[in-house]
A and B are shown apart, each in its own frame.
Chain A
Amino acid sequence: MRIKLLQEHEHAGRRHAADAELDLDAATARWLIELGVAQPLSEPKPKPPKEK
Chain B
Amino acid sequence: MYFSGQGKLFVAKRDVNGIPQAFRYLGNVSDFKPTFTTDVLEHKESSSGQRLPDLRQIKSKAASITAKLDEYTKENLALGLYGTAVTTAGASVTAEVLPSALVVGNYARLKYPEVSAVVVKDSAGSPATLTLGTHYEIASANHGTLKILNLAAFVQPFKVDYTYGAHDRVAMFLADPDELFVRFEGVNTADGNKPVLLELYRVLFDPLKELASISDDLGALDLSGSALYDATRVADTVLGQFGQFIHV
Contacts and interface: CB of A to CB of B under 8 A. Distances in A.
B117 A10 contact: no
A10 B163 CA distance: 10
A13 B92 contact: no
B162 to A, nearest CB: 10
B93 interface: yes
> Which residue, B92, B93, B129, has most C-beta atoms of chain A within 10 A?
B92
A35 B97 CA distance: 21
Size class of the B contact interface (CB-based, 8 Å) = 10 to 19
A9 B95 contact: no
A8 B163 CA distance: 12
B236 to A, nearest CB: 50
B113 to A, nearest CB: 14
B127 interface: yes
B97 A10 contact: no
Contact of A13 (B97, B117, B121, B129): B97
Contacts of B94: 9-12, 24, 28, 31-32
Given A7-B91, A9-B91, A25-B127, A31 B96 contact: no
B161 interface: yes
A28 B92 contact: no
B119 interface: yes
Contacts of B161: 28, 31
28 contacts: A7-B91, A7-B92, A8-B91, A9-B91, A9-B93, A10-B91, A10-B92, A10-B93, A10-B96, A11-B93, A11-B94, A11-B95, A12-B94, A12-B95, A12-B96, A12-B97, A13-B96, A24-B94, A27-B129, A28-B94, A28-B95, A31-B94, A31-B161, A32-B92, A35-B92, A35-B117, A35-B163, A37-B92
Interface of B: 91-97, 117, 119, 121, 127, 129, 161, 163
